[in-house]
Structure 1
Amino acid sequence: MTLTPESVTMELEMDIEKIGYVNGNVSQDMVLVNLTSTNRRPTQTFRRMPAMDPVLATLYQFQFYGYPVILTIGTLGNVLAYLIFTRTRLKKVSSVQYLAALAVTDTGFLWTSFLTPLYGYYKVPIITQDGLCQFMTFLNYVFTFLSIWYLVALVVERFIGVYWPMHKSTMCTPFRAKLVMSFMAVVAVACYSYVVYFFGPDKIYGILQCMPWKELRIHFENLSKIDTFVIAIIPYGVIVILTALIVIRGCEYYRISASVELFSHRNQNGRTGSQTSLHVTKIVFPVVILTVMSNLPVMILRTAMTIHGVKNPQIAKWNQVFYVVYIINFAVKFIVYITFSGSFRRRTMEVLKRGYDQFKRACRKGVAHSETDAHRINMEPMPSEKTQCGRLKKTDI
């Protein structure tokens, strides 16, 4: 599954056949072609065509076996990260609210994105059901928007904490973070409500797919161009600029504090606040770097396709390769937290130990109830023969 082109699918009907001749081999095999367009939603199309080149063939095998693994690992990691961010003392930090929200949006993106390969690879036609097609596509758009803009809000908060530490206690609070996240969620739902009317089950190459209606395809292309600007250009530009400024301020702080010892003693309180801010930033930087490095190639392709269109089959191949890295980003943030944050590791061990203790207590309680019931049954007196006879006579009467 890739970022694919519902908007230019018809233009590629003839061009896409060239993919099979990249390696000069000709055979009538059933292959999966992921077209690429200005839209994030995938349209996977099955056709009889010459064999793919080795890169696409290997990628197809990886996607077939790798998508369920990515989905499983990502779901378990994101659920555990959400529990740690919301059930431990970390929830008192405003930045953690955004990380908890990211765990939710990443999980939602993984599941809504998996429905297309679930149909294309495993023949489970959930995404092609009328109603589910529109709703799941709408959710995919919403989760994609929120996953990047929640990260933008997190970087903005870190920027405020580093450049204006005196205002951090009033501007960066868990309550304000929840307000920002709620506002973004409302904006996403309102802005992407059009997807419900533009998408539906339709046939392409004789195969039923969840894609934009043909009658609305021109309007959908125009909306996709706006969506590209909102998803692929603005947020990454803001993230790169603010992250660079944070790094510059951090380098200045360490240079000044190392060279002027008197400055460090006189500003102990301010230094402590900055250290706390930088300590929280340690978990933010790896997430930002991972997201930018994994998402930027796909977003660059998407921007180029929005401007110039897609007619080269090689773009579809490279988009396939980059998309694998792109979707893995939504599944491995838990590993990043574990690797770079000692506090997160400690809280993870606490949550796992607490869950294990609760499980043991539940098992012991269940065993105790079973033994009590068995003991109670064994201790009940058997009715005597005289009583039994009395009951029989009374019944006969």
Structure 2
Amino acid sequence: MIQMADDYLAHLAGNINGLSDLNQTIIQGDGCVNSSINQSSEIPFFMDDPIYQATLKVEKYTLPVICVFGLLGNTLSSITFLKLPLRRAPCSLYLAVRGFSDNGFLLSLLLPWISSTFDLHLSQVKGVCQTIIFISYVCGCVSVWLCVFITFENFLLIHNPFTAGKVCCDCISKLSTVLLVLFALALYSISLRIMNGDCSPNQDLTELTQIFVYTDSLLTLVIPTVVISVLMAVIAYKVIHILQIRKIHSKLSKVIIRDNPSATVQKRILPIAKVTRMLFVVSFVFFALNVPSHVVRLRILIGTFTKGHSTTSVTMATIQSAFQILYYLSFSINVIVYATFGSNFRLVFRKIFCGYVLPTTSSQVQTEAINLVVQRRRRSMTENPSCAEARPIVSECDRSCHKS
């Protein structure tokens, strides 16, 4: 029973946000998955498949590497985003908090792995099992919705910088983050009630468990996936449109210089592209690594809901186990994305951890680039009084924060 609880703890922490483990499956000591609704008729059907066994072994040996690397990378990246000058940049607070949230989720994966590998039997310690599962639910939800916030702010920066000047500030970011964390803590406190001391589902609260599972799937799987998909599609369309305009301006500049060699044409830059590139890649990587696992989970969930019992096949379980590794990576490789696509992040990171001195010519941060876009649009729309009163993003946000 102790080994069963430890294995169930590891499985549930790893299949958070979508797969209805609380009332659909129990992990037995030999590793097979069985229905917990009719426990008298369970028969193992996964363990004899060699491909499924291979995916389980890959997951077992890659999980600690993913977790340790992610814990280190997320910690360093969060510290970097909280330091000046990145601290004043859009979405920095979301990215920093997301790093801590991802660490919480990775810890909820690593601790059960340690318990199972070294026979520590953490499930024997009162409250540890439920606490780990609770943390995995909360951190998984917070990470997903922080990515939604990041994508939404990126959409505003491209679509309407004037609105972004009012939304992309510390006050809104702090308030949104606090409300999100409080909501997640309140919602997932239900998991502490519907779990027994050995991490098995409370059979007296089966209906509440089902409502909880479907609500979690809707909030952390369906809605975020749809929202991020739509926003990323709009962002991609707007970026392509901007690049087309830039190409036209470049051709016009060449024509002017050809007809009048003595003329000087001001080079048009797109600072907003530098701002949004990293944020777009962050959203895209999260989306690409999460969607495969989410699709399989959603299919299992719909099949269970329509037929009233688990319909998971060996093939589906194998695919889900493989996609689960990609899902874990989405919480671990963020520092690589930031360092690869964020030039300002690299500069500040090297300054903090490598003693690198920032050159004065490279001290411009993302917020300054956005202000250039706002000012440019303001000059091009001087005939509109509402636009003429626009102010740089950072200044407006700072004033509102000081007033509050």
Is the alpha carbon distance of 1:286 and 1:33 closer, same or farther for their aligned partners in structure 2, counting shifts above 3 Å? farther
> What is the distance in 2 between the residues matched to 1:158 and 1:176?
15
1:134 maps to which of 106, 130, 136: 130
Confirm whether residue 294 of structure 1 aligns to residue 294 of structure 2. Answer: no
| TM-score, normalisation: structure 1 | 0.73
2:190 maps to which of 190, 194, 199: 194
1:81 maps to which of 52, 77, 83: 77
Offset of residue 212 of structure 1: 2.0
Q: Which has the higher strand share?
A: 1
Among the aligned pairs, what percent are the same residue?
24
Confirm whether residue 116 of structure 1 aligns to residue 112 of structure 2. Answer: yes
> What is the distance in 1 between the residues matched to 2:185 and 2:70?
24
Partner of 2:93: 97
Contact 1:161 1:168 in 2 (8 A): yes
2:23 aligned counterpart, secondary structure: coil
Per chain length, whose mean CA-contact separation is higher, i.e. which structure has more relative contact order (CA < 8 Å, sep 6+)?
2
1:53 maps to which of 43, 49, 53: 49
| TM-score, normalisation: structure 2 | 0.72
Is the alpha carbon distance of 1:35 and 1:164 closer, same or farther for their aligned partners in structure 2, counting shifts above 3 Å? farther
Confirm whether residue 311 of structure 1 aligns to residue 311 of structure 2. Answer: yes
Contact 1:134 1:197 in 2 (8 A): no
2:134 aligned counterpart, secondary structure: helix
> What is the distance in 1 between the residues matched to 2:280 and 2:313?
36
Partner of 1:236: 225
Contact 2:150 2:283 in 1 (8 A): no
Confirm whether residue 159 of structure 1 aligns to residue 175 of structure 2. Answer: no
Confirm whether residue 33 of structure 1 aligns to residue 32 of structure 2. Answer: yes
Contact 1:94 1:177 in 2 (8 A): no
Offset of residue 215 of structure 1: 2.0
> What is the distance in 1 between the residues matched to 2:72 and 2:46?
39
Contact 2:73 2:335 in 1 (8 A): yes
Contact 1:145 1:231 in 2 (8 A): yes
1:214 corresponds to which letter in structure 2?
Q
Contact 1:115 1:127 in 2 (8 A): no
> What is the distance in 2 between the residues matched to 1:286 and 1:116?
31
1:302-342 CA-partner distances (Å, limit 9, x unpaired): 22222211323322222111111111211111111112222
Contact 2:32 2:47 in 1 (8 A): no
2:125 aligned counterpart, secondary structure: coil
> What is the distance in 1 between the residues matched to 2:291 and 2:34?
19
Is the alpha carbon distance of 1:168 and 1:222 closer, same or farther for their aligned partners in structure 2, counting shifts above 3 Å? closer
1:116 aligned counterpart, secondary structure: helix
Partner of 1:256: 245
> What is the distance in 2 between the residues matched to 1:327 and 1:179?
28
> What is the distance in 1 between the residues matched to 2:154 and 2:344?
18
Is the alpha carbon distance of 1:279 and 1:311 closer, same or farther for their aligned partners in structure 2, counting shifts above 3 Å? same
Partner of 1:44: none
Offset of residue 189 of structure 1: 1.1
Larger Rg: 1
Offset of residue 190 of structure 1: 1.4
2:22 aligned counterpart, secondary structure: coil
Aligned Cα RMSD in Å?
A: 2.9
1:73-104 CA-partner distances (Å, limit 9, x unpaired): 11110010011111231111121111111101
Is the alpha carbon distance of 1:113 and 1:217 closer, same or farther for their aligned partners in structure 2, counting shifts above 3 Å? farther
Contact 2:67 2:107 in 1 (8 A): yes
Partner of 1:21: none
Unaligned ranges ≥5, structure 1: 14-29, 38-46, 203-209, 356-397
